[in-house]
Structure 1
Amino acid sequence: MPGTEGERAEPAEPVTWLMLVYRVPSEPTRLRAAVWRRLRNLGAVYLQNSAAVAPRTPQSERMLRTLRSEIVESMSGQAFLITTSSVVGDNELAALYNAARDDEYEEILDKCVDFHEGVAKEVRASHFTYGELEENEEDLAKLKGWYEKVKARDVLGAGRAKDVVKALDDCARTLEGFAASVYEAEDSAISQPPRPGAG
């Protein structure tokens, strides 16, 4: 059940979890880093060293099966992919997973604040150019893309998701206001009469 704003979600029924327990050679260290990055991109949370879990979805199962295969076949390691639907402390595990998503959402919220500050700086400097507008459009598109990635792995309904949706809407309104100022500056430049002696 999705959590309300500011609360952790508690599953209405037990979640089916996938747990990857693995061991890779200590050298080269890039192997461990590669596994960590893949698990992080999936949104998995570590219960202890080399044991990470994620709710079972078609996407998470596909990614974890692929990762397990790579650990065994390409990294000369060992890996076991375990599924369980009955865990003592299931709500605590769900809260741990949601806390990781809320941390990611918090990062996006911080970047939304930076977005507003960046636009405000351009307004104060009267940098009403299409180049600045395009740059801000790209920044907002990146924030939206980041949100979509986190949302895709937010399968248990972390509490900060609604805050991010609102913050992105606010960013979009700020961008619209800046765009209007750019168009106004352009129209003003076009409508100004030529200077005496010009031409």
Structure 2
Amino acid sequence: MHTQYWLLLTYKVPPEPAKHRVALWRRLKGMGAIYVQSGVCLLPKTDDHVRRLKMLENDISEMAGESLLLETVALDRSQEDKVMVRFKADRDEEYKEFLDKCNDFEAEIAKETAANHFTYAELEENDVDLKKLQSWLAKIRKLDFYGATLALESEQRLKDCEALLDSYAQRVFDAHDENR
């Protein structure tokens, strides 16, 4: 059995100013950390995570807080599975939000198509929205350490959105060719 190593960060920071606590929380969530409880989080052990958590330890000290960074393993397979489930659940929440935005993107294209609104300005706006979806999915993928259940569906939905925009773009180009 492959032993999975994690980094366990425990910290305590002063309640005020709240913006420091919130910024710390955002940075940890942005790294893909799961919270075991308030002020206690886990990340898979990687060189990047070690480096970034050590920098966070320094930041916590500057906030007049306390922290402890440990390398840890699960006691047994069932404990390891519990941790994996938490990581996957956090990513699936992000994938759900992503899928909702795909719905919005598809609805916007459908609305413009139904209105026969085939303009370059609209195409450009939708292209920007697609680039945001692509970037967002790339960020989620980077934090999907253990293969969340909605990963494949999200990949497919992005491909569907890309194909939909290609089709819409062709209609825009055709409409403008007719006007010449």
TM-score of the two chains, using structure 1 as the length reference: 0.86
Q: Which ranges of structure 1 fall in alignment gaps of 5 or more residues?
A: 1-11, 191-199
Counterpart secondary structure, 2:4: coil
Give distance in 1, aligned partners of 2:3 and 2:91: 19
Counterpart secondary structure, 1:19: strand
Give distance in 2, aligned partners of 1:142 and 1:57: 28
Tell whether 2:23 aligns with 1:25. no
Cα distance, 1:19 vs structure 2: 1.1
Deviations 1:12-54 (A, max 9, x none): 6332111110011111111111111111111111111100111
Cα distance, 1:131 vs structure 2: 0.9
Specify the alignment match of 1:62 in structure 2.
Answer: 51
Specify the alignment match of 1:79 in structure 2.
Answer: 67
Cα distance, 1:59 vs structure 2: 2.4
Give distance in 2, aligned partners of 1:63 and 1:103: 24
Aligned length in residues: 178
Cα distance, 1:144 vs structure 2: 0.8
Specify the alignment match of 2:149 in structure 1.
Answer: 159
Contact 1:45–1:53 (8 Å) recurs in 2: yes
User: Which one-letter code corresponds to 1:21 in the other structure?
Assistant: T
Q: Report the more deviating stretch, 54-63 or 163-172.
A: 54-63
Tell whether 2:104 aligns with 1:114. yes
Give me the CA root mean square deviation: 1.2
Counterpart secondary structure, 1:20: strand
Higher helix residue share: 2
Deviations 1:143-175 (A, max 9, x none): 110111111111111121111110000001100
User: Which one-letter code corresponds to 1:35 in the other structure?
Assistant: L
Runs of 4+ in 1 over 3 A off after TM superposition: none
Deviations 1:50-87 (A, max 9, x none): 00111112222222111111111x21111111111333
Specify the alignment match of 1:196 in structure 2.
Answer: none
Write out aligned runs for 1:124-163 (5 A).
Answer: 124-163=114-153
Give distance in 2, aligned partners of 1:96 and 1:29: 26
Q: Which ranges of structure 2 fall in alignment gaps of 5 or more residues?
A: none
Specify the alignment match of 1:92 in structure 2.
Answer: 82
Contact 2:7–2:44 (8 Å) recurs in 1: yes
User: Which one-letter code corresponds to 1:84 in the other structure?
Assistant: T
Give distance in 1, aligned partners of 2:30 and 2:23: 11
Give the percent of matched residue pairs that are identical in Structure 1 and Structure 2.
40
Write out aligned runs for 1:155-194 (5 A).
Answer: 155-190=145-180
Contact 1:14–1:90 (8 Å) recurs in 2: no
User: Which one-letter code corresponds to 2:92 in the other structure?
Assistant: D
